[in-house]
Structure 1
Amino acid sequence: MSSKVYFTDMRASAKHESLPQKVNKLFKAAGFAKLIAEDELTAVKLHFGEKGGTAFINPVLVRQVVDRVKEAGGKPFLTDTNTLYVGERANSVDHIQTAIENGFSFATVQAPIIIADGLFGKNYQEVPIDGTHFDSVKIGSDIANANGMIALSHTKGHILTGFGGAIKNLGMGCGNRGGKQMMHSSLKPKVKGEGCKVCSTCLKWCPADAILIMEETAEIDHDKCIGCGECTVVCPTRAIKIQWKSETVDVQERMAEYAWGAIKDKLGKVAFINFIMNVTPDCDCNAWSDAYIVNDVGIVASTDPVAIDQASIDLINGQTGLQNTRLEQNFAPGEDKFKGVYPETDHEAQLRHAEKLGMGSREYELIRI
């Protein structure tokens, strides 16, 4: 059975067609207000971006969702969990500070920020899921305890999963730091010696002290490595490589199981909005935003996380790819843009596994508003 996905494009010629107004119309058309009861604590799950990045969801658009939740009688709060890697969001103090500096102040968004897994990422609830990889998952306590959730996801590429949308926002974004380690645990990067410049950048970002700097190259101690993949992202010469073909499928399936754990006790109380704008080749966890690989497409809304991600991928693939970006092939409409950036990554593995878990359907009806 196909799920409904509501879509609005980027065009506007009057005030009532502005992007903030389009978010409001999507919220109404998708019937999200019916999912919220009086005085319910509603988590607005999003990514606040790293310092230096600019592609995250605009706080002005987030404000529209906050206002609609309040109108429905709910009590919204903005939330995310702390990062596994060493950066500006590894503890809740720095995380909140970064969010405010990126524009998510109370004055702008009119909702408090609560980092769901506590000061150091140790606050979680064990949620049983009976999955393929996990019997239970560690979900940030304040997300687990919320009455409902609206997941706002910026669609983009990702060096480990190929594509990031609602499923990634739920899985990686709702698991606590220990859960993130469990999701990444099958990845064991290797240093391609001739490309390594011994700059020590990877050493600074490794949360497990698993990198050794030798005379001519860096080396990774696989007994210590937790597979977070941060060294692959920050290496300026791309000398650190993931063994892509099997490991990334495993990571995506683990991520999908965490996504299921984040919502399985809130069925009928969860909604999703994907912003198909600023489609960068990398995740918003980077402290930069590379050139967009396609033009902005629009915004989609649904109560089905699998359908909304499938629709987002299809809408992106329907665009003409942009030259002078990380996109190296598949420029024509209909060709897979994420394969054009990460040709060895099967980014649809997360959708297949999520559908298998019963999270939703890859079949959808696109309703334009």
Structure 2
Amino acid sequence: MGASKVFFTNLRATPKMNLLQKLERLVKKAGMDEIAFKDKFTAVKIHFGEPGNLAYLRPNYAKVIVDLIKSMGGKVFLTDCNTLYVGRRKDALEHMDAAYENGYNPFTTGCQIIIGDGLKGTDEVYVPVIGGEHVKEAKIGRAVMDADIFISLNHFKGHELTGFGGALKNIGMGCGSRAGKMEMHSDGKPVVRSKACVGCGICEKICAHSAITITDKKAQIDHAKCAGCGRCIGACHANAIAAAWDESNDVLNKKMAEYSWAVLNGRPHFHISLIVDVSPFCDCHAENDLPIIPDIGMLASFDPVALDMACADLALKAPVIAGSYLAEQLKKQGGSEHDHFCATHPETNWIVCLDHAEKIGIGTKQYELIEV
């Protein structure tokens, strides 16, 4: 496989060309308008941001992409899947409330929001992963898989488990249903936080495999019977059931790549990343810390692996912002030569995801950077 083309534009603006106009020019130069959108359902995968976090992408960027797709006759919608952890995006109703609160609605973006895995994170499609090393069937939100065309609009930032979050993180982890996210983060079996459990029995009633029993007013899960569907997590009003979070970060990265393969395989796809507000932690946090590096620019490509590699290379060349979490980590570690993301989160190794994605045929780490 030869080098993939990754298109880049900086964040300088003039009275004749603002950032939104530059984004439209970028994706057109990168060839997005060559996709046959007419009468095709098109999913634009985005992270709506956890309320309280201000680093997520503004809805203005999404509107540029939505308007372009609509101008070519596409039937476009914005989407994300429900979260695995406790927060404001655990079910579709709260998720949409959070999206609206953060400015995402049909009036600001020009299209509807559909939560990909339904009300409780259980509306999923089992997608075979041909040659998967860790995943045989990926559990992907149904609305994501129902789309004819897939577009990812990514906020490039740090991440405490994967080093950074870019295109592959937004696609693989972001499109997994609750059970899918649990499979990536753990061996796929939930656990009970006994202190939080009130013994209401809702989880016992909803379990289709009779894996949950209430003993001494506390829920217990028999992992020999548990199918790992995650329905009990969504049903628990006390937030007493959670994923085990016991998977190594390297395996998590590989699973994420295999989930990305499941989402992208067999249909047109295109990817856009913005290296802005590069916070050290995920947008799933209800807060955002000072960026670890300055804003850099916007990038687009048909190849998400090359796109992530290009974003990482640009970020690694950027100076560290004084007083940031990364600056503090470097002071503690006492080193001058470093990888920004591995220094921010020393237990992570982000290249594992890109290496595995390249190995299974999603794309290539080799790229030609074209400035527009």
- TM-score of the aligned structures, taking structure 2 as reference length: 0.82
Q: 1:332 offset after TM fit, Å?
A: 10
Taking the TM superposition and a 5 Å limit, the aligned residue runs for 1:156-235 are 156-186=157-187, 208-210=191-193
SS of residue paired to 2:325: coil
Q: Report what 1:360 is aligned to.
A: 363
SS of residue paired to 1:273: strand
**Residue 122 of structure 2 corresponds to residue 139 of structure 1:** no
Contact 1:54 1:289 in 2 (8 A): yes
Q: 1:274 offset after TM fit, Å?
A: 0.4
Amino acid in structure 1 at the alignment position of 2:59: P
Contact 1:319 1:334 in 2 (8 A): no
SS of residue paired to 2:259: helix
Q: Residues of 2 paired with 1:187 and 1:334: CA distance?
A: 38
Instruction: Flag the 1:12–1:335 CA change in 2: closer, same or farther, 3 A.
Output: farther
Contact 1:321 1:333 in 2 (8 A): no
SS of residue paired to 1:265: coil
Q: Residues of 1 paired with 2:347 and 2:320: CA distance?
A: 18
Instruction: Flag the 1:103–1:259 CA change in 2: closer, same or farther, 3 A.
Output: same
SS of residue paired to 1:53: coil
Number of aligned residues: 326
Deviation digits for residues 297-348 of structure 1 (CA, Å, limit 9, x no counterpart): 0000000010000000001111001111110229999842102201231111
Q: Report what 1:217 is aligned to.
A: none
**Residue 46 of structure 2 corresponds to residue 46 of structure 1:** yes
Contact 2:192 2:221 in 1 (8 A): no
Q: Residues of 1 paired with 2:318 and 2:337: CA distance?
A: 7
SS of residue paired to 1:15: coil
**Residue 291 of structure 2 corresponds to residue 288 of structure 1:** no
Q: Which stretches in structure 1 are left out of the alignment for 5+ residues?
A: 189-206, 214-220, 229-241
Q: 1:36 offset after TM fit, Å?
A: 2.9
Q: Report what 1:344 is aligned to.
A: 347
- TM-score of the aligned structures, taking structure 1 as reference length: 0.83
Amino acid in structure 2 at the alignment position of 1:361: T
Q: 1:285 offset after TM fit, Å?
A: 0.4
Q: 1:132 offset after TM fit, Å?
A: 0.3
Instruction: Flag the 1:279–1:317 CA change in 2: closer, same or farther, 3 A.
Output: same
Q: Residues of 1 paired with 2:167 and 2:297: CA distance?
A: 15
Q: Residues of 1 paired with 2:221 and 2:195: CA distance?
A: 11
Q: Report what 1:4 is aligned to.
A: 5
Taking the TM superposition and a 5 Å limit, the aligned residue runs for 1:3-152 are 3-16=4-17, 18-130=18-130, 131-152=132-153
Q: Residues of 2 paired with 1:4 and 1:332: CA distance?
A: 34
Q: 1:209 offset after TM fit, Å?
A: 2.8
Q: Residues of 2 paired with 1:322 and 1:334: CA distance?
A: 16
Deviation digits for residues 117-147 of structure 1 (CA, Å, limit 9, x no counterpart): 1111111111111200111111111110100
Q: Report what 1:218 is aligned to.
A: none
SS of residue paired to 1:160: coil
Contact 2:46 2:154 in 1 (8 A): yes
SS of residue paired to 1:73: coil
Contact 1:321 1:332 in 2 (8 A): no
**Residue 274 of structure 2 corresponds to residue 275 of structure 1:** yes
Q: Residues of 1 paired with 2:276 and 2:339: CA distance?
A: 17
Q: Residues of 2 paired with 1:291 and 1:108: CA distance?
A: 27
Instruction: Flag the 1:249–1:72 CA change in 2: closer, same or farther, 3 A.
Output: same
- Percent identity between matched residues is 43
Q: 1:211 offset after TM fit, Å?
A: 6.1
Contact 1:41 1:146 in 2 (8 A): yes
Amino acid in structure 2 at the alignment position of 1:78: L
Runs in 1 of length 4+ with deviation above 6 angstroms? 221-224, 330-334
Q: 1:212 offset after TM fit, Å?
A: 5.1
Amino acid in structure 2 at the alignment position of 1:353: H
Q: 1:210 offset after TM fit, Å?
A: 3.2
SS of residue paired to 2:125: strand
Q: Report what 2:255 is aligned to.
A: 254
Q: Residues of 1 paired with 2:166 and 2:129: CA distance?
A: 21
